[in-house]
Amino acid sequence: MPPKPPPDLSTIAHAVQQYTAISINHFLPEVFLVCGFLLSILLDVATRKGRSKRVSVYFAVAVLALSGAMAATQWHTFDPLHPKDLKGGSPLFPYTQSLFAPDVHNAEMQNGYGMAVVDNFAVFFKLFISVTGILVLLMSLVSRELQARSSRMGEFTSLILGMCIGLYLMPASMDLLTMYVSMELVSITGYILAGFSKDAEHSAEASLKYILFGALASGMMIYGFSLFYGLTGTTSIIGIRNVLALSPATHTGANLFILWSATVLALVGMGYKISAVPFHMWTPDVYEGAPAPVTAFLSVASKAAGFGLLIRFLLFIFPDSRGAGLPLLDWHIFVAAIAAITMTVGNFAALLQSNVRRMLAYSSIAHAGYMLAALAVGGAPGVVAIMVYLGTYLFMQLGAFYAVMLIENKLGTEELDDYRGLVARAPLVCVGLLIFLISLTGIPLTSGFVGKFYLFTALLTPDHSTNTIPWLWLAVVAIGNAIISLYYYMRVAGAMFLKRPLRDLALERVGELGAIPSAAMAFSWPTIVLLLVFITPVLVLGVYFQPLVDFASGVVRFFSFTEIRY
Amino acid sequence: MSLFPVGLYHFLILAAVLFVLGLFTMLTRKNAIAVLMGIELILNAANINFVAFTRYGGVNLGGQMTAIFVIVMAACEAAVALAIVLNLYRRSQTVSVVDANKLRD
């Protein structure tokens, strides 16, 4: 049979024009964000030094709010009675709009599903990132470290906006190329942000460590991607999935070894982004050295987008390899092992810390471990658990970093010993930090409990075909870890509320900041309002969490885990 | 028919050797600039893979396109990394990754 002649060049050009014209309508949030990013650079040049630099922060907040609102309009509500209302999409993934590529129905070029997609999963993360970005920008207004460099605030906000473009694209990417480029966009802006206070030695060191580890991880990931491409002949996630499912030769014999290597190498890059052990070494140093708002942003937004990417990658390339009995990789056990190690290492290392910010860094590693455990479960329950966990994690983690930053603003230190007896001097901030710490532990009536509850529900899902609970051991490890974490969170609370201040330690700092060690700390009212903005969702979501759960299950419904056919 | 036909496997082995060399460089060198050179080796190993797979038995140009993107990203990363190393040198007069280790447990 003679090979089919390649399509005419003008036909291809016409098709590309068409796809771009269709796609750009669905790409508006990102386009808007890019315009905002460029304008914020111009704005930085236009505004004069000093207080007017605050304008750039307000501008960035407005850009993020508007692009978040645009993303919200892309949300598809599910109507099972009218399945014909499909806007784009395909039988495989209804309610999904693929961007910048031929539709899967197009038999001529049926090897892909576009560079990126718009589905509820992506919309969830876009909203998540917009909210995080806005809160972090507001945090930056009261950060002593950043306000001391207020002439460079425009630079800061444009970098945050640039990072948001990458974060928007990460969970939406449907192609190895988009995954790599969006991850690099996030990483490179992250390296610069980590070293933002470049005149401080600790910041310079933090950014150096971040870029060396990050470059190594992303290099290994792209090498893994190249193996995927060699194995399947395509960089599209759906293309890879189809090839793996349809041709057994790609995952038997020597090819199985290549497939495993490629997957592990790819997971190195993604594991670095979510700071999973053993790719976590940068986390404590960067979190300690970077300015507090940057730390908060990295630990929430960048981690969430990393999970979005990881879910896309694993669940779309290797769909439900347990349930469907496909002869694909059993990555679940591999991820479960990483999850168990991550949460254990994170929690035990957090026990040993004397610096509160460093302790929070290790605790964020532990939280990544909990979410990885939910990922190991896979399927709809696992993904819902991750989404709910992320939704609760957002406010408590940002809030904890915010409270630590407020104390650091006045005290000039983050050492646990300096927190002794702090409640007498800053009662409201201490109560706020206590609430965040309780929530991070996962005690009921706070949002952290809801996250943990859905996590354990997912882990304890019984397998009806064998009448066992496959992830019982992981659930036991997670519960043990949650109990360990109680100790180090409550150690901070104990220092603040129960211990007497160490006189000599506090006196040492008087000269540095000119503060009287026993005087009450005065906080401006916007500072307190922002603290309440963090506290309220932590408490409200602890009791009234149904909207968040509905939101998360609204996402997962469109993954159509059970309806995947070949 | 050439005396020594170069096929896909030659390129793959070359890429694998480059990858291992890059990894080795990154893990053993103490000079930050040398570590950055290791990164370039790793990225170019991936590039050789992509281009070779496209040349021998590729159905589309996806691999070569990816390689171009990787080259651009490597340039961005190198620019930022060198700026960070330069900044570190100004602060502490060292480009050694061992000396720049004040943040630790």
**A467 exposure class (CB count in 10 Å sphere: 0-12, 13-18, 19+):** exposed
Q: Closest residue of B to A234, CA-based?
A: B62
Tens-place pLDDT, residues B9-30: 999 999 999 999 999 999 999 9
Q: What angle do CA A177, A180, A182 make, to 5 degrees?
A: 105
Alpha helices in B1-105 (DSSP H): 8-28, 32-55, 62-92
Mean of the pLDDT values across residues A392-400?
95
CB A548 within 8 A of CB A388: yes
Total number of residues shown for chain B: 105
pLDDT band at A113 (very low <50, low <70, confident <90, very high): low
Which domains occur in chain B, in start order?
A: 9-92 (1.10.287.3510)
In chain A, the residue whose alpha carbon lies closest to the alpha carbon of B23 is: A216
Instruction: Tell me if A205 and B101 make a contact (CB, 8 A cut-off).
Output: yes
Chain A hits for B88, CB-CB cut-off 8 Å, are 204-205, 208
What pLDDT was estimated at residue A328? 60
Q: Which residues of A touch B105 (CB under 8 A)?
A: 284, 349, 352-353, 358
> Closest by alpha carbon to A408, among A148, A159, A189?
A148
| Other CB atoms within 10 A of residue A55 CB | 17
Is B32 in contact with A227 (Cβ distance < 8 A)? no
- What's the pLDDT at A566? 31
* Higher local confidence (pLDDT), A329 or A413: A413
**What pLDDT digit, counting tens, does each position of B82-95 carry?**
999 999 999 888 88
Residues of A in contact with B87 (CB under 8 A): 195, 198, 204, 207
DSSP secondary structure string, A491-555? Answer: HHHHHHHTSPP-HHHHHHTHHHH---TTSPPP--HHHHHHHHHHHHHHHHHHH--HHHHHHHHHH
Q: Report pLDDT for A506.
A: 54
Region A275-301 average pLDDT: 94
pLDDT of residue A493: 93
User: Among all chains, which residue has been given the structure tokens 């404590």?
Assistant: A284
- Listed in sequence order, the residues at least 6 apart from A412 whose beta carbon sits closer than 8 Å to its beta carbon are A509, A512, A513, A515
d(C-alpha B98, C-alpha B96), whole Å: 5
More confident residue, B95 or A294: A294
Q: From B26, which residue of chain A is nearest by alpha-carbon distance?
A: A216
Asked if residue A452 lies in contact with residue A442, where contact means CB atoms within 8 angstroms, the answer is yes
Q: Is A480 on the interface with B (CB under 8 A)?
A: no
Q: Determine the Cα–Cα distance for residues A13 and B61; give it in Å rounded to an integer.
A: 15
- Identify the band that residue A253 occupies on the pLDDT scale cut at 50, 70 and 90: confident
Residue of B27, B77, B92 to mutate, interface with A, max A Cβ within 10 Å: B77
Whether chain B has a CB inside 8 Å of the CB on A229: the answer is: yes
pLDDT at A2: 55
pLDDT per residue as tens digits for the range A323-375: 444 556 678 889 999 999 999 999 999 999 999 999 999 999 999 999 999 99
A188 touches chain B (CB under 8 A): yes
Look up tokens 């979190």; give the residue.
Answer: A287
Q: Which residues in A154-184 are b (16+ Cβ under 10 Å) and which e?
A: bbbbbbbbbbbbbbbbbbbbbbbbbbbbbbb
Q: CB-CB: which of B66, B77, B101 is closest to A215? A: B77
CB atoms within 10 A of CB A376: 24
A251: pLDDT strictly greater than 80: no
CB–CB contact A208 B97 (8 Å) = yes
Q: In this complex, do B12 and A230 lie within 8 Å of one another by their Cβ atoms? A: yes
Cβ–Cβ gap A208/B69 under 8 Å: no
Q: Is A2 exposed, middle or buried (0-12, 13-18, 19+ CB in 10 A)?
A: exposed
Cα B64 to Cα B70: distance, rounded to the nearest angstrom: 10
Is the CB of residue B19 less than 8 Å from the CB of residue A223? yes
